[in-house]
Amino acid sequence: MPISAPIFLNFLGFDGDGVGDPKTHGGKDMAVCAYCVDHFPYWKEKLQRNIVSGSFGENLSLMGMPETAINIGDIFEIGSAQIQVSQPRQPCHKLNKVFNDQSMACSVKKTGFTGYYLRVLKTGMVKPGSLLKRIHKDPNEFSVEKANALLRKGGANIEHIEELVSLPALADEWREMFQKRLNKLKVFEG
């Protein structure tokens, strides 16, 4: 639901914004979920229904910030807060329920239109309509889409996985998941 008054962004997310399943959502590395509204026309056409901000469960609906242009580790200012991209969002079965389509989570994953999570580096107030300003572009330039591609079929590129797990800003959960995959690939390769 869009906000109509300034809201405080703390280290675990926006005040008053709960998560449905705290075992798999939320926490410091997933304090804020962003989704690019540039994907809405695609979903509107595919699903034959209107798509509005918040449809994908995002806290921030952003324009001109697709997964291909945003990097793990990029830092943004919004209001008086600062946030950092920590990992791609991985769609879960709840999207299937929201859209009444049992293939929705899979479709989101296949397109790479997943959105992404951000951690809060500096708490602060955020007003409705606040602009998100990139104040640091991560020098590794490892895009959210490049990370997403490692989850799709054919995502066994050892060099890319090594690069991903070495990113200081990567969420711990993703680092552990891909380190395990890397270990298996190296055993298989060796």
pLDDT (0 to 100) of residue 146: 96
- DSSP labels for 142-176? -BHHHHHHTTSTT---HHHHHHHHT-TTS-HHHHH
105: three-class secondary structure by DSSP: helix
Please report where in the chains the tokens 């540039």 appear, as a residue. 38
Tens of pLDDT, residue by residue over 119-172, are 999 999 999 889 999 999 999 999 999 999 998 866 678 999 999 999 999 999
The two three-digit tokens of residue 19, written as one number = 């998560």
Within 8 A by CB and 6+ apart from 159, the residues are none
> Mean pLDDT throughout 167-183?
95
Domains and CATH numbers, the chain: 7-144 (2.40.33.20)
pLDDT (0 to 100) of residue 156: 76
Tens of pLDDT, residue by residue over 95-112, are 999 898 999 999 999 999
Model confidence at 186: pLDDT above 80: no
> Mean pLDDT throughout 4-16?
93
Residue type present at position 180: K
Question: How, if at all, do strands 7-10 and 75-78 pair?
Answer: unpaired
Q: Judge if pTM exceeds 0.75.
A: yes
Which of 125, 132, 128, 129 has the alpha carbon at shortest distance from 4? 128
Tens of pLDDT, residue by residue over 19-72, are 555 555 678 999 999 999 999 999 999 999 999 999 999 999 999 999 999 999
pLDDT (0 to 100) of residue 25: 61
What CA–CA distance (Å, rounded) separates 133 from 146?
A: 22
Looking at per-residue confidence, does 190 or 39 come out higher?
Answer: 39
pLDDT (0 to 100) of residue 27: 87
Please report where in the chains the tokens 């769609």 appear, as a residue. 91
What CA–CA distance (Å, rounded) separates 105 from 90?
A: 8
